[in-house]
Structure 1
Amino acid sequence: MGRMFAKGYDFFMRPLEKKKFKKIREELLFKANGCVLEIGSGTGINFPLYKSVEKVVATEPSSYMIERAQEKLKQTRVQIEMVQTGAEKLPFPDNSFDAVVATLVLCTIPDPNQAMFEMIRVCKPGGKLLFFEHVKMDNPFLAGLQELLTPAWKKLCDGCCLNRDTLTLIKNNNLIINEINSFYNGLFLSVETIKSNC
């Protein structure tokens, strides 16, 4: 991930974060408990929002994003450890975490299927996997626009895929879906799931 993208990310996201995203994040992270793994923590936008968890292990592949996250680490109420790694090969044992969090990250991961496998692997049976993502829209016209815009958008936004069907990815992995909330006409979803005990 490029230095310029990391430097400008918070600035360009600020209007959305102030208007709606912060509340969505707060409500989602309130459901996290115990020892939490956050995938692709970026500039640390979630860090100050964790309230009642024991510890957060935050993974991020970009050294530039980790550098930007240092300021938000100072605003946290809980212990947060940052680990520089990608989501497709997590350096943690099976069943390590009580909850796994992914917010606005699955769109940029090169191999989202492998990342999802890893997230489920490291989550304890009965643990929560919590998502806030933009997704491929149901409306055929808008979905077509996403397809059209994705090649240019990926170059502009460091690999972000507007047309990624993340909800289907979640549904195809035998997770128990507790709740789905839709925002901005289905462009964004927050999803609470549980890893089955089987």
Structure 2
Amino acid sequence: MPHASETPEVSQDAPEQDEGARGTRWRRFALVAVPGFVAAAVLGGMTTQGLLAASFAVSGDSFKMSADSLVGNGFTQYGDVATSVDGTGRAVGLSTVNTAELENLCMSSLWDMPIGQATLVITAGASTPVEGTDLVIDIEQLRGNAEFSEIEIGRDASTLDKADGGQGPAGGFGLQADKITVSDMKMTTWAVTSGSLRLSGLGLSIKPGAHECF
């Protein structure tokens, strides 16, 4: 559905967090190192707490997104909690991007059904990039190569101002950049919202078995 150059591949599990609402304050969002944090921040692509907060309860399963590249303008990121119907809270990197283009986008969700596993697969942007505005993503993991322009790391989350509505709790650890570019993106997320999303060359299919994007 993005809240320095990073060439190392980054893969990280979300830290444990007590159950709580999305507004739960995080002073210490444990991400391995600045490069890892920055990469995870990257996308998020996308869930504005103020403008387009994912106020809905997330499902019990995360899903995967991949893209050959993502180019976003106006980016912020901070730690947050995504909550499911049963009240379970999951630590996420909440990232917001004002405008974004994604090339060769793939989204997949693996389902366990009475007849066995099945995978929802959505593809778009193979020839014309997917275009999104006011994107917000609850990121659990992200891998890829990232480049940022005018990046600020360690800024108070409540003062973030480079993405519309992308502010977090006072005292929270935040980062932001004027522009973000991510190549070979592979991301696991719990929720994505967008003010608008244009999916050129859309393809949607339900495939028996496991056929995830990566």
Could you say whether these structures have the same fold, taking a TM-score greater than 0.5 normalized by the shorter chain as the test? Answer: no
Q: TM-score, normalised by structure 2?
A: 0.24
Q: Which has the higher strand share?
A: 2
Which of structures 1 and 2 has the larger relative contact order (alpha carbons within 8 angstroms, sep 6+)?
2
